[in-house]
Amino acid sequence: MSNSSIVGYARVSSVDQHLDRQLAQLKDEHVEKFFVDKVSGKNLDRPGFAAMMEYVREGDVLVICSMDRLARSLMDLLNVTRTLQNKGVTVRFLKEKIELSPSGETSAISKLLMAMMGAVAEFERSLIRERQQQGIALAKARGVYRGRKPVDNELLEEAKRRIAAGVPKTKVAKNLKIGRTTLYKYLKG
């Protein structure tokens, strides 16, 4: 397989976060081709992820710093790794020290470890969300939680003008730094 390569995938949840640590780890693994995303991993609709899935081919090794960088739910994690294995791609998770060989070559113990580690990661995320919600409820009870600052009406009017001019809503929200949900709520009401 002289055409095979070592491919790396890195993701952070927002444009404010940095990929430096992950990219350094991937370089240490002799990664030749990098794919990155600066978006939430709540779903698989990510440009870097899609490009990586299209790029990898039989014989390639995909290196990811941690399972939660690839997928946020156990179901997505299992489906993605199975798809990659079926393509003949080896998947290596650095933090968990798990390597999944192409279909038929991965040991039962590796499959079990991956499913358990993925389930633990998903559970950990749900605990974090639960603690966050409890903290917000306590802050509201003390009267110190005010939520997000409301979006300026002038900004929302500008958004309306741009949309009327034919600019896609997602692009308008991004350019004006307004949450898409907020923009859609405003347009509805």
The catalytic site residues sit at 13
33-38/90-93 β-pairing? unpaired
Q: What string of H, E and C letters represents the secondary structure of the chain?
A: CCCCCEEEEEEECCCCCCCHHHHHHHHHCCCCEEEEEECCCCCCCCHHHHHHHHHCCCCCEEEECCHHHHCCCHHHHHHHHHHHHHCCCEEEECCCCEEECCCCCCCHHHHHHHHHHHHHHHHHHHHHHHHHHHHHHHHHHHCCCCCCCCCCHHHHHHHHHHHHCCCCHHHHHHHHCCCHHHHHHHHHC
